[in-house]
Amino acid sequence: TSSIRSGSMLNSLSTSLLCLGPDSTDRPLVLFSLPDVHNTTTLLLSDDRSTLYVGAQDTLLSLDVSQSDVISLKKKVEWSPSEREITECVECPNLVHVLRSLNSTHLYACGSFAFSPHDVFIVSQHRNFSIVQYGNAKGRCPFSPFQRSSAITVDGELFTATTTDFKGVQPQISRHLSKHGRPDVSQDSSVALKEPTFVSSSLDPADKKLYFFFSEVGKEFSFIDDLQIARVAQVCKDDVGGQRTLQKKWTSFAKAPLICQLPKQLPFNVLEDVFTLQPAEGSGAADTLFYGVFTSQWSSGPESAVCVFKLQDVRDVFTQSYRTFDMQTHQWSPLVGKHSYLGKCGHGNASDSVLAEVKRSFLTSDSVKPDGGGPIMVSSGERYSRVAAMVTEAANGTQYTVLFLLTESGLLHKVVLFARGAQVIEEIQVFTQAQPIKSMLLSSVKGVLYIGTSEGVTAVPVADCSIYRTCRQCVLARDPLCGWSRSGTAVFLTRPVSSSHLYLFSNVLPTEVGVKLNEVVALRCVKPSNLAALTWTSPQLNARTKNLFIQSADGTLSFIATADTFGSYRCEAEEGRYKEVVMSYNVQQTASPRSMSPVTKVNNEPPPSGVDEPYEDIPTETANNAQVMTDQPDDAQQVLQQKSYYSELVVVALLLAACVCVMILAGLHTWNQRRAGLKQKPLVSPEVSSRTDPSMERGSEVTLSLRSSSHHASLSAAVPLPASVSHLFVCHHEKMSRRRTSDVEKTNELKLVVLQL
């Protein structure tokens, strides 16, 4: 099983992304696994590309990959330690580190073999696949199953870069199985190699040199912490060592730093993997490119970069100035004078003084700079561990480089290098459950990428053009391996889109949505890619009604169905300079079921004015069962035109609430005044209360005045007093003397106390 997530953008140097449509199907991946076989991590493809050899835990496999959609088992050979060896090292299986082709009939394999490296020769001629010779292989592959190494075979000779001890702390670059009576040579000096991690090796057939790529601790710099440096080391294929000095040692060994760095930033100094892209037929070996994946020892999160180096630049560095190592001070210093023999082949008969200089001066002063001066791609969210590259030619003759990058979690990113930068056009989850991926083998001729993990081998096609259902999707994907034919199918080879701003109008049929009045409507719109920006367009969306709509983070448009919101809506996705219609809706009010009938509508709306339509969208046969719910033009049409009184209802409710609040406040105020009056002494005497004001008996109108000292507010009202009501109101004049003055009296204002019987 597999899943694909299109549109993941990881390249910080490029801001645009074009990817697959939302209806992309799963990649047709082919997985091979056996229940009793694990750690299928070492892969080798036969010369005829019909057989895949796999080195696994305690097992060697021969798989039939002649058919692109099937992987079948041809032969299985058990290769495991004996019971005695297993008892000496508990839980120490044999993991195959090296699996190379020696000639047309034999393979070579080397495994950890319970921390006691062993190697075998395997007959691979015709249908035969069997082990013919065992042997001890110390120095040809690591003791530990988890330590990385590199190996390459050239003309039947084996060149390895590995460690030679049980602890894995003694590195060595060696030649084994030497021919023509030449001795095996090596480089195991602790000065030449400081805690290296070997990742890859490559052959320069023109100069007859081999290059080994690794990271190590750089001792030419004085830092408190160990500084990791990415390196490339060279040796000559036919080196036989010196006669007295450097006997059985490399006389051509030299190493140079690899620089992968953004301007004014710390370099990516840890090398994870290197892929050698051979030049096209007719080109020279100098056009060979090395694609390297780098990480940084200072990075706190997942971060990586991809840099590309030219073989010619590597050659030039080894012909320039060098540094020399002082054995007394253990310091590196620039080598004074010109020493043209450094980094050259053919020192078998050199003098002891020349070889002594070669022995201590093998580090170049200059570094190998990447092509273009910096990384071609930088990812701030993913840590890449493996890389593979291929070159393809589009229909117009333009060549594109396609990279395949593996993350530590098992994701496969497909990257295309355009003139304006790198773009990730596909992200493939190779397995349902993420697991570490140890190896990757690309066959550009077969168009298949083989991935080895701890659970099995997976074949991933470099392109699956069938996932593009329309020309729009095919063009926007920008996959140089796919094109669109007039017959309505996706095929290989296409031409890139070159337009300042291209609006690809798609014939998306509108989806009819029937809703009731004042019902909440939610129109969904799925992003075709992670970086797509979704916008909604509709005649109903204007400055007056924009507050009636809510667009959520996932692109869903929500609103209440009213006469102002019924109509058509289109969701558009925009990425960089390109725009496409993703969804189209027609929202209308539903009537009774008997007044509805399904009708199919065709969107004949032309593209926006002023925008050319250079590409014809030929949709394939896809399931589109959208039905349009239309109402009969009788009473349902009249309902649509009725005015909604929702706004007026809200205003009336607010006014009513305000009035209720005022009445409650007035009642509280009155109750407070009543309590204050009852706490005072009697306002009138019995004699006064027995008398009745003639005006009350006649019936009159009295002005009542209530004053609140606390709120500085007053309330006045004219109250008619009927003559039949007795003892309803009592008026009292209260006189108080503030001072002991007999002739001065001050009267207080009239207080009207309302006592309701």
Write the pLDDT tens digit of every residue in 698-711.
Answer: 444 444 444 444 44
The fraction of the chain above a pLDDT of 90, given in percent, is 46
For the chain, percent of residues with pLDDT exceeding 70? 74
Residue 675 has a pLDDT of 83
724 φ/ψ sector (left φ>0, alpha ψ -120 to 50, else beta): alpha
DSSP assignment, residue 121?
A: E
Of 627, 506, 623, 619, the residue nearest 573 (C-alpha): 506
C-alpha–C-alpha distance, residues 535 and 581, integer Å: 10
- pLDDT computed for residue 745 by the predictor: 45
Say if strands 270-277 and 118-123 run parallel, antiparallel, or are unpaired: unpaired
DSSP 662: H
Question: Hey, where are the domains in the chain?
Answer: 502-632, 647-754
Q: What is the pTM of this model?
A: 0.68
Which residue, chain included where needed, has tokens 């949505």?
Answer: 513
Out of 254-263, 566-575, 703-712, least confident range = 703-712
509 pLDDT above the threshold of 50: yes
Q: What is the pLDDT of residue 460?
A: 93
Output 428 or 733, whichever has higher pLDDT.
428
User: Among the residues of 19-96, which ranges form H helices?
Assistant: 83-88
Asked if 63 and 73 touch (Cβ cutoff 8 Å), the reply is yes
Higher pLDDT, 352 or 625: 352
Q: pLDDT confidence of 94, banded at 50, 70, 90?
A: very high
Nearest to 26 by CA among 356, 545, 494, 460: 460
The answer to whether the CB of 570 falls within 8 A of the CB of 47 is: no
To 5 degrees, how large is the angle CA 572–CA 575–CA 578?
75
CA atoms within 13 A on the CB side of 585: 23
Q: Supply the mean pLDDT for the chain.
A: 79
602 vs 586: CA distance, rounded Å = 12
Backbone angles phi, psi at 85, to 5 degrees: -70, -35
Side-chain-side CA neighbours of 546 within 13 Å: the count stands at 5
Report which of 21, 1, 30, 26 is spatially closest to residue 425, judged by C-alpha positions. Answer: 21
Rounded distance between C-alpha atoms, residue 321 and residue 361, angstroms: 10
CA distance 164 to 137: 9
| Mean pLDDT confidence for 290-311 | 94
Contact 63, 74 (CB under 8 A): yes
Q: What is the pLDDT of residues 382-401, one digit of tens each?
A: 899 999 999 998 766 788 99
Which pLDDT does position 679 carry in this prediction?
A: 59
Q: How confident is the model over 419-436, as pLDDT tens digits? A: 888 989 888 888 767 666
Residues 5-62 have pLDDT tens digits of 333 333 333 322 233 333 333 577 899 999 999 999 999 999 999 999 999 999 999 9
CA 227 to the chain's CA centroid = 29
pLDDT beyond 80 at 339: yes
Grouping H, G, I as helix, E, B as strand and the rest as coil, residue 302 is coil
- What pLDDT is attached to residue 415? 95
Query: CA quadruple 595, 569, 619, 465: dihedral positive or negative?
Result: negative
Instruction: Please name the residue that has the structure tokens 């003759």.
Output: 397
pLDDT at 156 over 90: yes
The residue among 415, 395, 417 whose CA lies nearest residue 485 is 395
Q: Tell me the pLDDT band of 627, cut-offs 50, 70 and 90.
A: very low
pLDDT for 732: 39
Determine which helix (DSSP H) or strand (DSSP E) holds 228, and give its type and residue range: strand 228-236
Which of 247, 246, 310 shows the shortest CA–CA distance to 276?
A: 310
Single-letter residue type at 345: C
Would you tell me how many other CB atoms lie within 10 Å of the CB of residue 112?
25
Pick the CATH number of 502-632 from 2.60.40.1120, 2.60.40.10, 2.60.120.460, 1.10.40.30: 2.60.40.10
Tell me the residue ranges of DSSP E strands in 519-616: 520-523, 533-537, 550-551, 557-560, 567-575, 578-589, 596-599
Check: CB of residue 218 under 8 Å from CB of residue 200: no
Question: At 66, phi and psi to the nearest 5?
Answer: -65, -30
